[in-house]
A and B are shown apart, each in its own frame.
Chain A
Amino acid sequence: MYLGQLIFLIVGCVMVAAAIRVVTSHRIFHAALWLIASFFCVAIVYMLLESPFMAGIQLFIYIGGIAVLTVVAIMVTKDAMSADSRTVSNGWSAAIVAISLFGVMAWTIVQLDLPTEPGMPVSGDSLPLLGAALVDPGGYLLPFEVVSVLLTVVLIGALFLGREH
Chain B
Amino acid sequence: MITGIPLSWFLILGAALFCIGVFGVLANRNLIVIMMSVELMLNAVVLNLVAFARFMEPARITGKAFAIIVYATAAAEAALGLALTVAIWRTENTVTIEEIDLLQG
Contact = CB atoms under 8 A, between A and B. Distances in A.
Contacts of B17: 15-16, 19, 38, 42
A86 B15 contact: no
B80 A86 contact: no
Contact of B20 (A16, A46, A50, A72): A16
Contacts of B24: 22-23
B12 interface: yes
Interface of A, secondary structure class, is helix
B68 A134 contact: yes
Contact of B5 (A8, A31, A119): A8
A143 B73 CA distance: 11
A155 to B, nearest CB: 7
Given A73-B82, A165-B90, 7 more contacts: A5-B5, A12-B13, A23-B36, A61-B74, A94-B23, A102-B19, A118-B54
B8 interface: yes
Contacts of B54: 49-51, 118
Contacts of A83: none
Interface residues of A, number: 92
A154 B83 CA distance: 10
Given A16-B17, A69-B78, A77-B95, A150 B40 contact: no
A139 B21 CA distance: 32
Nearest to A60: B71
Contacts of A106: 12, 15
Nearest to B97: A89
Interface in B45-81: 46-47, 50-51, 53-61, 64-65, 67-69, 71-76, 78-80
A77 B23 contact: no
Given A3-B2, A54-B67, A65-B75, A88 B28 contact: yes
B50 A46 contact: yes
Nearest to A157: B80
